[in-house]
Amino acid sequence: MRQWGEALEQPELLSGNPDRHPFEAKSIAGKLLLFIVVLLMCIGILVVYSSGAGWAQRKFSNPEYFLWRQVVFSLLGVITVIVFSSIDYLIFKKLSKFLLFLSIFLLAMLLFLKFMGVIKGAARWIQLGPVSFQVSDFAKYALIFHFARLITDKRDFIKDLNNSYYPLLTLLLGVVALIAFAPNFSTASLVAAIGFTMMFLGGVRIKHLLVTAIPLIPAAAVFAVAQPYRVARLLSFFNWGDEQHLSYQVRQALIGLGNGGLFGLGIGESKQRELFLPLSYNDFVYVIIGEEFGFVGAVAVLVLFAAFFVCGLIIAKRAVDRFGRFVALGITITIVLYALINMAVACHILPTTGVPLPFISYGGTALLFNSLGVGILISISRKRHARPGPSPDTELSGGAG
């Protein structure tokens, strides 16, 4: 892993001959990334319409309600990708502290409004006129930007406990705690995983991370069983061999995947979508893919996210500066991790969570923020040195700082 870290720090080691088309690979990676994302969005439109028509008819008396909203979200997503791909990503380095503390303020404000009784239930959304967005999505990307900045600025003493690790850990735990008490335990866990992964790749000492994990893992476990609905999910998962103890959602999801067989039932032929599987157009959209397109279709979507991951790594390796490199790593890890969690839940590999499938599940906030991330990835891939070869910022002496 450390050898891979050295390769990230010195991208000229990955290009073979640095004088021969040094930017060709990352240019192709950016174009391929855009193609993959647009293809995923098209799949999302198709599957959301198929899976959500019955629910839309029941809730809104319009079977095309989810379809046209998803079309609008996807078009806005493409526009977002195009806009942010043309913006110099270094602006987020300058704004990272402001964006992070703004997200912390918004998360804290939601908790305060919940405490005062203004918000009933989960305190996750902010309404701005006709538009609402989930603050945790904003906080997640703000954290990636600021962590990339701190890892870059602290490169010479990244292994130092007081001057590097503690400041990073404090920011991460602050954001995670605010999200967890919303409550949104699944998102908080994923944000924690993203933050710790970025610190590890940035060169933070492994022993510091392990010592932190010793008290955090039991604390997270206690928090996970603090609510009855979480306990029910865990009991349902760990009784996976006993169908009588499976939750309704899990049972219907497994039936749907079984119905699909190798090649699926065909577009629009899902049986589970007709009011059997809750949130079939969102959290369990992968089940509908497996049912209508079969094992082949489900694997194809998995391959697309694998290709997304490879493109993201190539962009990170070829980035011209450390900030761009770690922003690319953070965005890539985030999107792929969310995809893997969603697919694992649909296949009953992990307990049920409320994690959407990026670019495919119904919804606007997550799709737009992920599109922003893709736009930044493409912006990083388009950034070039004034002359071929590594920039001074990438010529490091000791691997990960």
Query: 323 is written with which tokens?
Result: 């900030």
- Torsional class of 355: left (φ above 0), alpha (ψ -120 to 50), beta (otherwise): beta
pLDDT of residue 227: 72
DSSP 182: T
pLDDT of residue 23: 42
Burial label for 48, CB within 10 Å (0-12, 13-18, 19+), is buried
In tens, the pLDDT along 210-262 reads 999 888 888 887 877 777 767 777 776 666 545 555 567 777 788 888 888 88
Does 32 have pLDDT greater than 90? yes
How far is Cα 147 from Cα 2, in angstroms, rounded to an integer? 20
Q: How far does Cα 27 stand from its chain's mean position? A: 23
In tens, the pLDDT along 197-214 reads 999 999 999 999 999 988
pLDDT of residue 225: 72
| Best CA proximity match to 78, nearest among 316, 370, 310, 283 | 370
Does 391 have pLDDT greater than 60? no
Strands (E), 94-180: 125-128, 131-134
Does 301 have pLDDT greater than 90? yes
pLDDT of residue 206: 92
Q: How far does Cα 231 stand from its chain's mean position? A: 25
Domain segments of the chain as ranges: 30-384
- Stronger pLDDT, 156 or 17, i.e. the higher one: 156
In tens, the pLDDT along 149-185 reads 999 999 888 889 888 999 999 999 999 999 998 888 8
Over residues 98-122, mean pLDDT: 89
Collapsed DSSP state (helix, strand, coil) of residue 132? strand
Collapsed DSSP state (helix, strand, coil) of residue 168? helix
Count of C-beta atoms within a 10 Å radius of residue 225? 11
What stretches of 160-227 show up as alpha helix (H) in DSSP? 166-180, 185-202, 206-224
Does 367 have pLDDT greater than 50? yes
The structure's pTM equals 0.86
Give me the DSSP letters along 6-39.
HHHH-GGGGSSSTTS-TTHHHHHHHHHHHHHHHH
pLDDT of residue 114: 86
pLDDT of residue 240: 54
